[in-house]
Amino acid sequence: MLLVLAVACSATTAASPEKRTLPSPLVAAKLPERPDADAIPSAASWVIPMEAGETVPDGRSGILMSQEKAMRSARYIVSYDELRRLYEVDLNTWGREREIYESYLIASEAETKRAWTAAERSWFDRNAPHLALIGGFVVGAVLTVSIVAAVQGTENLVGSP
C-alpha cells in the first residue's frame, strides 16, 4: 500500500507557475556611423564666406566650401535625421515597456490584496487558543466538582463506618 501511495504521489507534479515575459524591445541595435569618422585632407577642408556680388554672378551670398566638406555636412544632416527617428522609436518602445510594467504592477498589487484578504484571520481564529485554555479550565473544574460530589454521594448511600 505504501509503495502504491509513494508512486502515486511522485507521479503528480505541481502545476508550473505562469511564465510572464515582456515582448522583445524595438531598440535600435546599431547607431549610424559618425560622419567625421574619415578625416578630410587639409587641402580639401576649406570654407569661404561669400558676400553678395562678390565673384558670384547672380548676386547671391552664402558659404562656398569644398566638395568633401559639403559631403560631410550632408552626411551630418542625414545622420541627425536618422538618429532622431531611432530616438523616437526608442521612446515609443520604452513607453510601451513602461505600460506593460505598470500593468504587471497593478496585477501584482491586486493579487497581493487578494492574498492578504484570504490570509486574514477571523476573531475566532485569533482567540481560539485563549478560548481553549479557558474552556479546559472550566471543564476541569466541573469534572473535579462532579467527581467529588459523586464520591460524597456514594459515601452517603453506603454509610460511614
Q: What is the per-residue pLDDT across 13-46, written as a single tens digit (0 to 9) for each?
A: 555 556 666 556 555 566 667 777 778 888 888 8
> For position 112, what pLDDT does the model report?
93
Residues above pLDDT 70, as percent of the chain: 70
> For position 107, what pLDDT does the model report?
92
| C-alpha distances in Å from residue 158, one per residue of 144, 150, 154 | 21, 12, 6
Residue 6 lies in a domain: no
Number of domains making up the chain = 1
Residue 8 lies in a domain: no
pLDDT at residue 135 greater than cutoff 80: yes
**Strand ranges (E), the chain:** 47-50, 62-65
Residue 14 lies in a domain: no
> For position 39, what pLDDT does the model report?
80
Residue 7 lies in a domain: no
Residue 36 lies in a domain: yes
Residue 11 lies in a domain: no
First to last CA, the chain: 62
pLDDT, tens digit (0-9, with 9 covering 90-100), for 73-110: 888 888 888 888 888 888 888 888 888 999 999 999 99
Residue 68 lies in a domain: yes
Rounded to whole angstroms, the maximal C-alpha distance in the chain is 153
Residue 56 lies in a domain: yes
Which structural domain, as residue segments, surrounds residue 42?
Answer: 30-120
